[in-house]
Amino acid sequence: MTTAQKLILASGSPRRVELLAQAGIEPARLMPMDLDETPKRSEHPRSLARRLSAEKAKAALAAIKGEAGWDGSYILAADTVVCVGRRILPKPELVSEASSALHLLSGRSHRVYTGVCLITPDKTLRQKVVDTKVRFKRLSGFDIESYLASGQWRGKAGAYGIQGIAGSFVVKLVGSYSNVVGLPLYETVGLLVGEGYDVHNRWLEG
């Protein structure tokens, strides 16, 4: 029965919940996984996004082990990494870090990688990494100061959120917009449908 299918989103990101809702999907449970997200030495941003999304999904699987009613759930996790060349930008909590990231992004193209990991009810692990190329306008000192004052950079990869004020910094975007926000919808829905999760049934009214 498709109604028995349960989806756990191994995330504490409100953006990911909203993006799934946009695709008509409401997870049965949210499980934020607090992991060490430090890149390994010379780890490629694509590999980092892939590794961390899998670690989040596996951590959620380990956490539900033995819990009645949750075995056999689908588990979805994602990780978004912003980089300029091979330089991985932090998810800043400090104004100084955010300021450095914004100076680096100014007037340049960068890449956003999101790793998506799905663990199926039979514990098969499926992954995708999606990348999007984004070019920012040249940011003036006033742009940067004002954006820092907005606080919208806090806790976001690369110190910006494209879905907010920083959307007005974007000169060009090649690839998936939802990927930049934190969950590539086309690929995520494709993974879920491919593994038998009845996405379309969730679109029915009522």
Q: With respect to ligand TTP, which residue has the nearer C-beta, 86 or 200?
A: 86
Of 17-25, 40-48, 143-151, 155-163, the segment contacting ligand TTP by CB under 6 A is 155-163
Strands 87-88 and 29-30: unpaired
Q: Is 181 in the site for ligand TTP (CB under 6 A)?
A: yes
Residue 192 to residue 43: CA distance in whole angstroms: 28
Smallest gap from Cβ 43 to ligand TTP, in A, equals 15
Q: Applying CB under 6 A, does 76 fall inside the site for ligand TTP?
A: no
Q: Is 143 a catalytic residue?
A: no
Alpha carbon separation from 86 to 44, 146, 154 (Å, rounded): 7, 28, 22
* Euclidean distance between CA atoms 111 and 98, whole angstroms: 17
Q: Classify the C-alpha dihedral 196-179-181-48 as positive or negative.
A: positive
Contact residues for ligand TTP, defined by CB under 6 A: 11-13, 15-16, 32, 37, 56, 78-80, 82, 91, 112, 155-158, 160-163, 180-182
Active site (catalytic) residues = 79
